[in-house]
Amino acid sequence: MKLIGLTGGIGSGKSTVARLLAERGWSVVDADQIAREIVEPGEPALAELVEAFGADILDEAGTLQRAELARRAFVDAEHTAKLNAITHPRIQERTQERFAEARVAGVEYCVYDMPLLVDNGLDRDMDEVLVVDVDVEERVRRLVAHRGLDEADARRRIAQQVPDEVRLAAATYVIDNNGVLEDLALQVDRVAAAIEKAE
Ligand code: ADP
């Protein structure tokens, strides 16, 4: 199985590329989805979060209120480290399980859709690294226009991520998404075909 890391700054079109690759028949492991799964009701990580940050992080139905957790966890480095110590090992474990399941199922191309792939040094574990690249100003514009963020928030989130040049340096393929969606689809086709041909 070939493991293909897919990353890009927020608003770059990474989710759109993941969708196109899924339509091609490639499997997709979604890091954001796993991060949500491991704190669902009944999961051990959720009980540990309650112990660490208080029962008020849950709503009446026992579901995690992410905003409330963020308010309590991101106050300082110590609390953030506590949050990470609870969630990160579970996320890693679940991710490895998904890769193992894909291998057992005979999947040939498994995409790991991970916004912080390079930020967290996980690019080194991938066979290929696809980086979706868009100019910062265009990303801000799309985040404001399509995702309803206000401009300051969009810029703040972009600034929290690894700089574009660091992400690009880790790429084995760069997908330029400054153009229209039809262009993006053509490039995804081209890159996917190159990876399939390299087998
Ligand atoms: P990411 O997952 O990297 O944060 P998305 O795939 O959600 O980014 O894309 C951000 C927004 O920009 C979405 O609303 C998406 O539909 C839109 N978008 C993506 N590519 C293009 C493009 N080439 N032209 C215009 N809008 C785009």
Q: What is the pLDDT of residue 41?
A: 96
180 lines ligand 1 (CB under 6 A): yes
Distance between Cα 20 and ligand 1 center (Å): 12
Looking at residue 162, its amino acid is V
Q: DSSP 3-state helix, strand, coil percentages of the chain (rounded to 5)?
A: 60, 15, 30
Q: How far, in Å, CA of 24 to CA of 124, rounded? A: 25
Q: What is the pLDDT of residue 176?
A: 97
- What structural domains and CATH numbers belong to the chain? 1-26+110-199 (3.40.50.300), 38-107 (no CATH)
3-state secondary structure labels for all residues of 34-100? HHHHCCCCCCHHHHHHHHHHCHHHECCCCCECHHHHHHHHCCCHHHHHHHHHHHHHHHHHHHHHHHH
Q: What is the pLDDT of residue 199?
A: 66
Does residue 183 sit in helix, strand or coil? helix
Q: How far, in Å, CA of 27 to CA of 77, rounded? A: 36
Distance between Cα 120 and ligand 1 center (Å): 23
15 is known to lie in a ligand binding site: yes
Q: What is the pLDDT of residue 113?
A: 97
For residue 179, give both structure tokens.
């153009």
Positive or negative, the Cα torsion across 10, 13, 16, 18? Answer: negative
Looking at residue 97, its amino acid is E
User: Helices 77-104 and 44-53: crossing angle, nearest 10°?
Assistant: 180
Question: Which atom of ligand 1 has the smallest separation from the CA of 147?
Answer: 14
Q: Could you list the pLDDT tens digit for every one of the 199 residues in the chain?
A: 999 999 999 999 999 999 999 999 999 999 999 999 999 999 999 999 999 999 999 999 999 999 999 999 999 999 999 999 999 999 999 999 999 999 999 999 999 999 999 999 999 999 999 999 999 999 999 999 999 999 999 999 999 999 999 999 999 999 999 999 999 999 999 999 999 998 6
Question: Which atom of ligand 1 has the smallest separation from the CA of 18?
Answer: 6
181 lines ligand 1 (CB under 6 A): yes
